[in-house]
Structure 1
Amino acid sequence: MPATINPTITRSLGSGLAGAVALNVLHEIARQFIPDAPRADLLGMRSIAKGFRAVGEQPPQGEELYRLAMAGDVASNALYYSLVGVNTKQPVVAGAALGLLAGIGAVTLPGPMGLGEKPTKRTPATAAMTIGWYLFGGLVAGAVYKRLKA
């Protein structure tokens, strides 16, 4: 008998992916037009390069590094935002909480992690956009979960 996939897990993962894609699309479009926009792409590229160097390897460069960063960003945010399924009665509230926490983390953690503060905290506007955009991703994940559950 074939194994079945739990519908809650499927909804959670799909919702997390929707939130992650929404967040990344917002980041990528805004950085083209807003000078103080957060640069999550730079954090992702720095993180990947740091990981490669930690294991004694030469990190990829240019477009390859950018593509790896975007894929990693979408994948990690999708898994994180998929936690909206933990609170199935209030997924939008759960998404808002997840987004807010992710945004605060994106502003406060890169410096201590050795990734630099400027990509998400260059100006007060940059920090506010960072938090707001992660909140947006969480809200999208929660709303999609709620819609898929209906």
Structure 2
Amino acid sequence: MKKKSSGNLPQALFSGFAGSIVLTLLHENARHIAPEIAPRMDILGMRALRKILDKADAPQPDRDTLFNVTMASDILTNGLYYSFIGSGKGVWQRGALLGLAAGVGGVVLPGPLGLGEAPSNRTPQTKLMTVAWYLVGGLAAAGASRLWSKARK
């Protein structure tokens, strides 16, 4: 098996952050368009951040600051996650698999993590949108990786 060179790191990061931005845009637009059914991953993120700050005995930020830090954290962590899609052969499959895994995790994990289930699990449509949007993010990252490869040729 051919070892991947470290020259693929910028491509992986670029494509990962492209997928993350697509995912964030989907979530943010949908919560304004269809607030009754749209997944609210922002709420889950803010709850998680409040829990972390509470455990660290750190001061709790105001709601606007909390939201902004959560959005930045979401873009960073999702971008790093999607960067594992990488480049080369199988990029579309990796994008689909990592996207689906993140989407299923977004539906299944919040309850056991003590973050509540309603933001991603409220209705069947909410669950479907959660999984679908993470899948779209993974495929967007794969597409960005392919575009990078074509641009380099």
TM-score normalised according to structure 1 size: 0.93
**1:135 paired residue number:** 135
Alignment partners' CA distance in 2, 1:64 and 1:52: 13
The answer to whether structure 1 residue 6 and structure 2 residue 28 are counterparts is no
Give the ranges of 4+ consecutive aligned residues of structure 1 lying more than 6 Å apart after TM superposition. Answer: none
Paired AA for residue 49 in structure 2: I
Preserved CA contact (<8 Å) 1:107 1:127:
yes
Q: CA RMSD in A?
A: 1.2
Cα deviation, residue 89, structure 1:
0.4
**1:108 paired residue number:** 108
The answer to whether structure 1 residue 44 and structure 2 residue 59 are counterparts is no
Alignment partners' CA distance in 1, 2:140 and 2:148: 12
TM-score normalised according to structure 2 size: 0.92
How many residues are matched? 145
Identity %: 43
- Unpaired stretches in structure 2, ≥5 consecutive residues: none
- Unpaired stretches in structure 1, ≥5 consecutive residues: none
**1:55 paired residue number:** 56
Alignment partners' CA distance in 2, 1:60 and 1:49: 9
Q: Deviations over 1:97-145 (max 9, x none)?
A: 1000000000000000010000000011100000000000000001111
Alignment partners' CA distance in 2, 1:106 and 1:83: 18
**2:145 paired residue number:** 145
Cα deviation, residue 6, structure 1:
3.1
**1:72 paired residue number:** 73
Preserved CA contact (<8 Å) 1:48 1:59:
no
What SS is found at the alignment partner of 1:77?
Answer: helix
Alignment partners' CA distance in 1, 2:54 and 2:127: 28
